[in-house]
Chain A
C-alpha cells in the first residue's frame, strides 16, 4: 500500500482535531462543583501582629498546641523575648530567649538598661515559599487561598523543607515522621472561625486577615501603620505582617 504525504497530513489533521475536541470537552465537563459554601478563590489569608500589644503570656502557644495536638517539645507558633541593651559603649548582640516556646509564659524580667519586647512567631505563609519550591514530591504547597500546607499522605519526611524555611517554622512529627507546620488553623478559618492563637490572644496582638475581603481591617491597617515582614530580603512574599517591629528581630 502506498502512503502519500497527502494521506499522512489528512489523517494526522483529523486526529489532531479529534484530540483537541476531546481535551476541550474534558476541560468543560471535568471540573467538579465545590462541596460547600467556602470558595477558595474568594480568600487570601494572612496575619497582622502588633508587637506593642504582645504581653508574652503564651496563650497563643498553649491554644495552638491544644487545637492542633502539637507534640510536646515542638511548636507551630512560639514567642521570643528580645533584650537589646544600650549600644553606646559597645555593640552587643540582642539577647533572645524563648523558654520551651513560651508555652508556660516567661519568668518576669527586671528592668534592663535598654529595651525589651516580645515577638510572636509562626509560619509566614509565604506567597513564594522556599519550602514549597524544594519539595521533591509535591507534598507541600500554597493553597489557592494562600495557606502553606502539607499533604501528610505524600510527605516522605526528607526534611528539605525544614532546611529551606528561613523562619524555622517546620518540624518532623516524631510519630508520623512527616513534616508538620502551622496550617493557619485551616480547619477553622474555612468554617468561619478565626485561628486558635488569634481567638485566645487576650490583647488582640494577633489578627487573622483576609486580603481578598475588601471590608477586612487589614487594608486600613496597612494604609495607616508602619508595617514590616520578617527577613524581607529573602523575597519570600511573607503574609505575616508586624506592626512596630524592631530592626533587631530576625
Chain B
C-alpha cells in the first residue's frame, strides 16, 4: 500500500517529529499558563490594567462636592468674577476633607502668594485678564484688606 510504504521510508523522521510535537505542546501549555486570560480582549494589552489605573485615589473632590455643604460661599462667589474658579483651585486638594470633614480641617490659603499667581502683571498674559503690579498697587498691604476673595469687586 502507498501509505505503508511511505511510512516505512520515513520511519527515521518519527522521533524528531515526536520531539517537535512535544516541544510545541510544552510551548502552548507554558504560554497559556503565563498569559492572563483576558489578554487581547480590547487590544494587545492586559485589560486588567484599566482597573489598575482606575484604583488610584482621588485627591480633588470636585466643585459639585464642595458646594453640597458650602453653598453660602458658593452663592457669594457666583455673584462675582470668580464665579468660574473652582474651590480647590485656591483651597487645594480636599477630597479627604469631603470624606471626613472633622478629621481633615483645611488651612486657609496664604493670600499674599495666592492672588499674585494669577493677577501679577505679565506681558505674556491675555490683555483682557485683570492684572496689577502688586508692588505698586497695594504698597505691601494684603489683597484681602480691600478685596474679598470670593467676590473681589470693590
A58-B117, A183-B53, A199-B86 are known contacts. Are A67 and B123 too (CB-CB below 8 A)?
Answer: no
Q: Are A2's CB and B129's CB within 8 A?
A: no
Contact status of A202 and B85, CB under 8 A, knowing A55-B129, A67-B59, A149-B50: yes
Known pairs A3-B3, A138-B44, A186-B53; A202 contacts B118 (CB<8 A):
yes
B46 at interface (Cβ–Cβ under 8 A)?
yes
Cβ–Cβ < 8 Å partners of A82 in chain B: 124
Asked if A112 lies at the interface with its beta carbon under 8 angstroms from chain B, I say yes
Chain A, range 63-95, C-beta contacts under 8 Å to B = 63, 66-68, 81-83
Query: CB of A228 within 8 A of chain B?
Result: no
CB-nearest residue of chain A to B57: A187
Instruction: State the majority secondary structure of interface residues on A.
Output: loop
Interface, chain B (partner A; CB < 8 A) = 1, 3, 39, 42-46, 49-60, 62-63, 82, 84-86, 88-89, 92-93, 117-118, 120-126, 129, 133
Choice from A55, A141, A150, A186 contacting B43 with Cβ under 8 Å: A141
Question: What is the CB-to-nearest-CB distance from B104 to chain A, in angstroms, rounded to a whole number?
Answer: 14
Closest Cβ neighbor of B135 among chain A residues: A108
Q: Give the residues in chain B near A67, CB-CB below 8 Å.
A: 58-60, 93
Q: Which of B43, B86, B125 contacts A142 (CB 8 A)?
A: B43
> Which residue of chain A has its CB nearest to the CB of B90?
A202
B61 to chain A, nearest CB (A): 8
Are the CB atoms of B122 and A199 closer together than 8 Å? no
A109 touches B122 (CB 8 A): yes
**Given known contacts A112-B123, A149-B49, A154-B49, what 10 new A-B pairs fall within 8 Å (CB)?**
A55-B118, A55-B122, A66-B60, A138-B46, A183-B56, A187-B57, A194-B62, A199-B63, A199-B86, A202-B86
Query: How far is B3's CA from A108's CA once the two chains are assembled, in angstroms?
Result: 90
Q: List 13 A-B contacts (CB under 8 A).
A: A3-B3, A53-B126, A57-B117, A59-B89, A67-B58, A67-B93, A83-B124, A108-B133, A116-B123, A153-B49, A187-B57, A200-B89, A204-B84
Residues of A within 8 A of B (CB-CB), count: 57
- The reply to whether the CB of A110 lies closer than 8 angstroms to some CB of chain B is yes
Whether A56 and B45, one on each chain, are in contact in the complex, defined by CB atoms closer than 8 angstroms, is no
Other-chain residue from B1, B50, B60 in contact with A63 (beta carbon distance below 8 A):
B60
Instruction: Determine the chain A residues whose CB is within 8 A of the CB of B57 once the complex forms.
Output: 187
Q: How far is the CB of B40 from chain A (nearest CB, A)?
A: 9
Say if the beta carbon of A42 comes within 8 Å of chain B. Answer: no
Contact of B93 among A63, A110, A117 (CB under 8 A): A63
- Given A67-B93, A199-B63: A153 in contact with B52 (beta carbons within 8 A): yes
